Structure 1
């Protein structure tokens, strides 16, 4: 799958999720107002938060895809993390805040109107729509995990494409939230006690807090400048070390510039008999090898340097200041 196809698939996943959440939000709001259920109104707030999040994620994809210019020579990839971080904050403030506050209010003072049927109907329809949206997100996660030769779980944990991660987590949380709302409504109807409806609303809020915290943490890490995963780092190091005129790699640093852009910088000790032409040819070959293996690698910078004494057989340092590390065993 090409980079353009990946971006197109991500946009499609976000658009499908946003359209589904908007329709569901309206239905839940109507059901919540008619029934007076705190859990239904919290689910409506949940869907409104998710819809707004999808809009922000769409902006993240579009803004992050802007081409590089003189003011931003490495492109606008990191801007996508800014919008994705704002999306996580909105989920935290609007969705979770309303759900928890309304749940507490319901437990203390609210009385249910007693009209449960419309809530059950909306919950059932919403579950089907959210399941369809989640199925698309799952297909993309599986497709991209195969492209990166890793498991879907590991891909979700390490991916730099936080839009896919956000849609997957939000749709999963939405299905769980619908089940919680249904249980809360059912218990309130059976017992006549609004405590269960209020507790369900609070649990939905807590669920949103967890999702928002995971997404915010991931985007902050990428905004600061996160390296590629360990397995990819090792493969890049092996490719560079395998160049004919290279003695060893002294320092290797990588950074995610955006969901589909990676920067590679290395201090390379070339053989003493390597000429300037040999070094130029090695630099061209390094870029060809790396971009062939990982098309997401957008920039490759090699700095010829004399190796420090006593480092033979050791792995490249990750930073200029870091101490040399022994070769690590492969991670799964």
Structure 2
């Protein structure tokens, strides 16, 4: 097997660079900014919601406070994920620490489930059973309005990043969010979306409680917020588990990689092509390649270098390329693999 890593400086070698997943350093810097802004906003909002919840006695407000505190801790975990995942490779971790990003992002999702969803559902049920009257509503409304502006600001930044990345990839936002290995921007986007919906639910609960005088609505709003957080946590946890197990690249990239390798003049076919996300911006490529029988070992080595150059030029996130010369059938290449 011939292995080629990213230590070589990629040239052009006939491959046309695409805009889609390039500039991983810029994407990482933008992700850090998104996480920091979201964390700062969540902390300030959590304190305000807690004060309003204690003053008014609203279960929905206390649930929202727990929601924001959970999101604040989540942003800390996501920041750790970004920092820890960028540690260089060493003898014990020859492919780097990219997958550690997925570990911390998975822990963040679990914390959202336990710290946010669990508390909100429990407190909502307790409020329904106790049926204790709420206090002053004005402060709760004021805090909800301010929180909506702050959460909206954080959400707009995350949305701009998602929109920019999806344009570079040439896919819809929903498809980008489903397939992106950048778990931090995905988490912030979903959590900020859930926060905005949660604020609306809390406001509805307060309004209905004030209009009817029945604390049931406040408790129902709290339970609804908890269910919302549970769904977000489940989506994020499932995505991170898939990446931890070793998810392949999207099918579009898989097919382009197969095409680039097959376009090398002395390559007959690419019978097997395997890919793996090693981190948010790190990809491993391993392939069985059928070379022309008559070529020399030196020509195969040169062709392997050419393949690495083509792949790295088109997709800078590719860090490792391993090619294994093997027999195959002309024209029978491994296509339509990867994640669809």
Check whether TM > 0.5.
yes
**Distance apart, 1:18 and its partner CA:** 0.2
**Distance apart, 1:96 and its partner CA:** 0.4
**Distance apart, 1:274 and its partner CA:** 1.4
Q: For residues 300 and 40 of structure 1, what CA distance do their matches in structure 2 show?
A: 52
Structure 2 unaligned blocks of 5 or more: 1-21
Counterpart among 72, 75, 80 of residue 93 in structure 2:
72
Match of 2:118?
Answer: 97
**Distance apart, 1:314 and its partner CA:** 3.0
Counterpart among 56, 66, 77 of residue 35 in structure 1:
56
Match of 2:222?
Answer: 201
Match of 1:247?
Answer: 268
CA RMSD of aligned residues (A): 1.5
Q: Which has the higher contact order (CA 8 A, sep 6+)?
A: 2
Q: For residues 131 and 98 of structure 2, what CA distance do their matches in structure 1 show?
A: 47
Q: For residues 293 and 15 of structure 1, what CA distance do their matches in structure 2 show?
A: 31
Counterpart among 81, 84, 87 of residue 108 in structure 2:
87
Whether 1:54 aligns to 2:75 is yes
Structure 2 contact 66–116 (Cα < 8 Å) conserved: yes
Structure 1 contact 228–256 (Cα < 8 Å) conserved: yes
Match of 1:161?
Answer: 182
Alignment of 1:291-306 (within 5 A): 291-306=312-327
Whether 1:106 aligns to 2:127 is yes
- Aligned residue for 1:78, secondary structure, equals helix
Match of 1:314?
Answer: 332
**Distance apart, 1:143 and its partner CA:** 1.3
Whether 1:217 aligns to 2:217 is no
Match of 2:310?
Answer: 289
**Distance apart, 1:328 and its partner CA:** 5.2
- Aligned residue for 2:98, secondary structure, equals coil
Structure 2 contact 155–189 (Cα < 8 Å) conserved: yes
Match of 2:23?
Answer: 2
* Number of corresponding residues: 319
Structure 1 contact 21–47 (Cα < 8 Å) conserved: yes
In the superposition, the TM-score normalised over structure 2's length comes to 0.91
Match of 1:125?
Answer: 146
